[in-house]
Structure 1
């Protein structure tokens, strides 16, 4: 089994400016179409004229070398060294051989070469037409079997009439085999007119008749573009090719239109069938669009934003992610054609087997959340045996993929929860994710499926239903509403506090006291509470007030009491409910107004101290007397 690696081909836009200088003695009818060299050679003992090489992004930059020792014929060959899995040199070997000036390849019907390797292997991708630009007429073969013997390979040209100015001469991409690198050689690379190469069938959607449910404003691509050729060695070779080789058409453009790239746009309700031809011959396969008219949006989230860490949703501010579909070659088939309907962004995955949302650059700390949520829509009827899997992956303490500290859990959803042609809201509690031992650095959300060809996704987020309380509040305590004229304040940014209060007298306590800003608001923190006092510079006379107000927040206290103390000492405890909890008040803070009569027999005209005892970490704010 090969490792999944991310194959990023860095494409640069190539521009071409043409300046025509016309003399006065020549008219436009005398101008001839520019011709391009018909040189068929790519690599015969060395680079052909004008040929350049560039490694793909993420690949080992020195994977390709010219080899003067091992060759099929002549004096040199192309040597490709595939790196081991995890190599710092690169994740795979891959690159393109291209020219700055196009070549006319219309006289040929195949790219041919000889290949051998140090071991039996299957090379992921080989082909031509990749010029690091538009790659308009790219053609490739997949999983080419090689061994230690030289063999000749043919990559047929689907329609040579289109290759009158081609720059992409040859490209390759190969990853480790069973985690191990190896070496392969390619020699005598050239385009030929090969007798016995004959085009057989062509197909879109891999020759399947595909039926999808769609909506107005939804776009999708016709893919699975293939063509089969018979070769002189008796093999039927399937090649992958770009949509530029095909001509697409719609049976009902008033319902769905298709452009020359196979991009289908649903424009109204009804049905339309998308078909194609290759070199004027009908291609097998079709895409039937059954449009239900206007798009049915996913349910609008109702959770407050402070309870949510959003990955993808227009209802919230999303955290940064590396990508919503990194395309993990070579095993991933899933492609994406995300769309926007009425201002609502929707992820659209098709050819679905698995797809990953990655946040490796900024791992998500979901420790203060209780659930994972996603809304998914299956545009096709639910097939027998269909299942949908959600795999949450935490990168562990080092925050990086791999190593021994990663953990994950896969949750499988089946019918009747899973439905076709209807939005399904998935809510998975972390308490059910037994394999996920940490969620401080979530780096991947992976969706997998069986018998689900496509789905839409929206409102992907982590949330807290109140069962998980962040250890530190993320928002300030609620702003007090009592008028200052009726308040005697001990600790609050909203009022003028009594002077000289010692918030940390030495009573032999273990509690660690600090004052820190929470969302810009000064807050009193008791860490590791056992007991803690507050000493006033002068006794307070609060006999004219009816209540003491306290805002407090705790995620882990199981016992918390508050005391008023008069000389003697005379003290009386009032039990505060704990933990304060998400949802008990704004942003997790709990506000209490305690009748001063609850502290009898404390002398209200002579309050000298406050005290708190209990356990855990507790935050206090807005401690004041009022009527």
Structure 2
């Protein structure tokens, strides 16, 4: 695989990106438009969400040995386009991912319901062009559409529609497969990759965070074991946001109005929980009556979706039992204070409700589609009696 970026002078190779770009699955038929012109440029592609291949931050990543370069339009030397060269020894699925410098070669979020258009200059009529859209963080979340060229040696606009798209999935990566499933010596030119940007779903993207400090807790410090709060002395936490696999999220520090909080960043697709591990400071919570926590979401989770709080008990070096509690409904737009009786927690592992060696806290927020990003902010996390 080769990466082409107009700000770079060297090419990079990475087999992993090849696998991401060419995930399996069937295609959804697209439609053709016989619009042709003497230039790939129509004058309507001057800003995102449209890529005109003349941008200074343009990036292209090939896979399957496809040849890629920015070149002069074969019909209009004043216009820059992408030249894609496919040889007989290239993979039949060879293609190119196109982006404008986004993380993970991403673009702004695509609305699949509005489709994608692409200007194509093909060596022959009847050749299949496939455009695949996917989640930049989850290669398994994708849809594909194919349209056939109708012109040879002329520009035309092809339209790609995605009837099978999941409306809950974030599609923010796009790849073009010229002559899909063919192996001829062919040169294609493409221009004006155009789509409609989609706004984030309610409750799925938290870009603002708390606008005010959480109220200070009032429990007597003598009756508190604090995991995190400015109001109390906190126990030593070994790690916030430990990496326990792809579904685990990182936890970072934040502050508002002089008050500190923690942010659980479930932005990457598939992330659904954040944790705090304090195994070196595990404690006996048997005599404590309540688990307390303040949380903030910019918007509520969708109806029926819950936040689960799990307390992990370690009688030895690892979890021997656990209890959990489901928070429902999950409110957004302000700090929400939880004071949950520990007697309300249910057995979640080990067939025991023991709390004699609480060593970890796990906060889970699964969504209907975990490809949707979410940030959860927490403060004043403590046990009281």
Name the TM tier (shorter chain). 0.3 to 0.5
Select the structure with the greater relative contact order (CA < 8 A; seq sep ≥ 6).
Answer: 2
Q: TM-score, normalised by structure 1?
A: 0.31
TM-score by length of 2: 0.48
